[in-house]
Amino acid sequence: MRLVLFGPPGAGKGTQGLRLARDMGIPQIVTGDMLREAVAQGTGMGRKAGQYMEAGKLVPDEVVIGLIEERITAPDAANGFLLDGFPRNVAQAEAMTAMLARHGVALDRVVFMDASRDKLVDRLSGRLICKTCGFVFHRHYSPPREEGWCDQCGGELYQRDDDREDVIAQRLLVYEQQTAPLLEYYSLQPSFRRVDADGDMEGVYARLKKAVEA
Ligand code: ADP
Ligand code: AMP
């Protein structure tokens, strides 16, 4: 199954996608994580991308498209993948369609995770991430057993720089202007599904699974 999860920041793509990809036995490919990794390693690409990420803006298409083409043609993605964070605008979606066509395949599902603005801000401002393994928690909705420390690996938890209120507002604006038009691009395609992502974790997961299987 070749699957794209898209939706506004904070909709739950990362947390729900992790569970879904594990259930389905496919790799979860998260462009935000790949870019943060490049920033942490201080590569040339990381230094370039970091400036855009800090400001809540999209990294230039050519950087991200190159990164994704390399990743989805890796051997572990040969039988499928779950993509989170890409495509993020219509140019990226067109590049993705062309890229897959060159390999003789296409997307099986494009799932739009739809959540209200209040929920998004609440989720993003309380998000906590493990410095070591990247596992995602929430201060209130999925708190770690020990405050400040990861249940999975014992690593220290931190708040992403771009999960501060001013950058959240900018990211939501970028979403509306650049990513939301993807709805029109995908919604008439047979692979398209919309999932109500406003509810609690279990409810959203059940709806997501049903949408992917239907
Ligand atoms: P995205 O990848 O779409 O930006 P995440 O999966 O990182 O979003 O979720 C953002 C934050 O909201 C995380 O802290 C996560 O634990 C929390 N979260 C995700 N889904 C839900 C939900 N259905 N109810 C409450 N909190 C949620
Ligand atoms: P995310 O983890 O999905 O919230 O992404 C964090 C940041 O990474 C975004 O605000 C962008 O700066 C950058 N980013 C992630 N995916 C993409 C993409 N497909 N295109 C451009 N920028 C991206």
Looking from the CA of residue 35, the nearest atom of ligand 2 is 8
3-state SS string for the chain = CEEEEECCCCCCHHHHHHHHHHHHCCCEEEHHHHHHHHHHHCCHHHHHHHHHHHCCCCCCHHHHHHHHHHHHCCHHHCCCEEEECCCCCHHHHHHHHHHHHHCCCCCCEEEEEECCHHHHHHHHHCEEEECCCCCEEECCCECCCCCCECCCCCCEEECCHHHCHHHHHHHHHHHHHHHCCHHHHHCCCCCEEEEECCCCHHHHHHHHHHHHHC
Hey, where are the domains in the chain? 2-26+79-213
Which pLDDT score, from 0 to 100, does residue 69 have? 93
Probe residue for ligand 2, chosen from 35, 69, 170 as the CB with the greatest number of ligand atoms within 8 Å: 35
Active site residues: 13, 88, 127, 160, 171
Residue labelled with tokens 């959240």: 168
Dist. CA 53–CA 140, nearest whole Å: 25
Joined together, the tokens standing for residue 84 give 């989170």
Looking from the CA of residue 127, the nearest atom of ligand 1 is 14
pLDDT tens for each residue of 82-94:
999 999 999 999 9
Average pLDDT value for residue range 158-167 = 94
Nearest CA to ligand 1 atom 5: 12
Angstrom distances, CA of residue 129 to CA of 8, 73, 126, 200, 203: 18, 28, 10, 19, 22
Which pLDDT score, from 0 to 100, does residue 180 have? 97
Considering only the top CATH level, what class is 2-26+79-213?
alpha beta
Dist. CA 66–CA 95, nearest whole Å: 10
Looking from the CA of residue 9, the nearest atom of ligand 2 is 4
Ligand 1 binding pocket includes 12 (Cβ within 6 Å)? yes
107: confidence class by pLDDT, cuts 50, 70, 90: very high
Other C-beta atoms lying within 10 Å of the C-beta of residue 15: 20
Dist. CA 22–CA 81, nearest whole Å: 11
Ligand 1 binding pocket includes 11 (Cβ within 6 Å)? yes
CA 105 – ligand 1 centroid, Å: 30
**Which ligand is closest in space to the CA of residue 204?**
1
Average pLDDT value for residue range 36-59 = 94
pLDDT tens for each residue of 6-47:
999 999 999 999 999 999 999 999 999 999 999 999 999 999
Which pLDDT score, from 0 to 100, does residue 172 have? 97
CA 178 – ligand 2 centroid, Å: 12
At residue 98, does pLDDT exceed 90?
A: yes
Return the closest-CA partner of residue 35 out of 67, 3, 74. Answer: 67
At residue 159, does pLDDT exceed 90?
A: yes
Cis ω for the linkage preceding 143 (within 30 of 0): no
Q: How much of the chain exceeds pLDDT 70, in percent?
A: 100
Looking from the CA of residue 32, the nearest atom of ligand 1 is 2
Q: How many CA atoms lie within 13 A of 122 on its CB side?
A: 11
pLDDT tens for each residue of 180-195:
999 999 999 999 999 9
At residue 214, does pLDDT exceed 90?
A: no
Nearest CA to ligand 2 atom 8: 32
